[in-house]
């Protein structure tokens, strides 16, 4: 059962308001649906737009931040439960351990790294969590095209497409999470390797 949803998102504050609106809507809908939030712990950007809105609407919110960023003073001071980790690697591991699902909102290189790792974790059978990409304003269109290039040129198997779900709206994210059925079949080398 999905209880805690990990949200990966931008910490930038200089982005179009449509991204903020979708992030806040997702935060509201996650809280309204009874989900708790795991996120990067920042008081900035889409990260806090989503997590802060969820917190205001009654969700339990868990922030996870590496010590270096914490020492820069960017952590939220809103009273959410905050875990400080040694580094980015341990941060991602802690967020993974704490969550039952992953949603990637629009973001930069950090978000891309987090999303890629969760796709690979699921591909290799380390978990069967839902991995959702919220494609607000077509933000991830080129990335999805690139994923298709990876597959069409045999750098990845076609089944990878089943690992992640592209949601166009926050409502679509919630519907997918509520109806998600985990597939626990064993992963074989034929599922992973292209020969």
Nearest 5 degrees, angle CA 114-CA 154-CA 147?
Answer: 35
166 within some domain:
yes
The verdict on residue 191 lying in a domain is no
Q: Whole-structure pTM over 0.85, yes or no?
A: yes
What six digits make up the tokens of 2?
């999905």
Residue 92 lies in a domain: yes
**% of the chain surpassing 90 pLDDT:** 88
| Domain assignment of residue 188, yes or no | no
The answer to the question of residue 193 being in a domain is no
Query: Which stretches within 57-137 are classed as H helix?
Result: 67-71, 88-98, 109-123
Range of the domain at 123: 4-180
Within a domain: 189: no
Q: What is the pLDDT of residues 52-82, one digit of tens each?
A: 999 999 999 999 999 999 999 999 988 899 9
Summarize pLDDT for 126-154 with one digit per residue, the tens.
999 999 999 999 999 999 999 999 999 99
Q: Which of 27, 74, 18 is nearest to 53 (CA)?
A: 27
Does residue 57 lie in a domain region?
yes
Contacts for 83 with CB less than 8 Å, ≥ 6 apart = 41, 62, 63, 64, 65, 94
Q: Are 187 and 124 in contact (CB under 8 A)?
A: yes
pLDDT band at 184; cut points 50, 70, 90: low
Closest CA to 51 of 83, 85, 84, 28: 28
> CA–CA separation, 104 vs 84, rounded Å?
21
User: Number of structural domains, the chain?
Assistant: 1
CATH number, domain of 79, equals 3.40.50.450
Q: Is residue 148 part of a domain?
A: yes
């Amino acid at each position: 059962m999905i209880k805690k949803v990990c949200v990966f998102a931008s910490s930038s504050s200089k982005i179009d308001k449509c991204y903020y609106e979708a992030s806040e809507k997702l935060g509201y809908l996650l809280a309204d649906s009874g989900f708790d939030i795991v996120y990067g712990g920042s008081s900035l950007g889409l990260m806090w737009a989503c997590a802060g809105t969820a917190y205001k609407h009654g969700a339990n919110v868990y922030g996870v931040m590496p010590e270096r960023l914490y020492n820069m003073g960017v952590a939220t001071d809103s009273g959410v439960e905050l875990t400080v980790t040694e580094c980015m690697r341990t941060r991602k591991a802690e967020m993974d351990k704490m969550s039952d699902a992953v949603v990637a909102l629009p973001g930069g290189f950090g978000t891309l790294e987090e999303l890629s790792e969760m796709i690979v974790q699921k591909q290799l059978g380390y978990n069967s969590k839902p991995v959702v990409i919220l494609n607000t304003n077509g933000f991830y269109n080129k990335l999805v095209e690139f994923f298709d290039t990876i597959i069409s040129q045999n750098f990845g198997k076609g089944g990878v497409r089943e690992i992640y779900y592209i949601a166009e709206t926050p409502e679509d994210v919630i519907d997918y999470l509520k109806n998600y059925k985990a597939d626990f079949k064993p992963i074989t080398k034929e599922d992973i390797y292209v020969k």
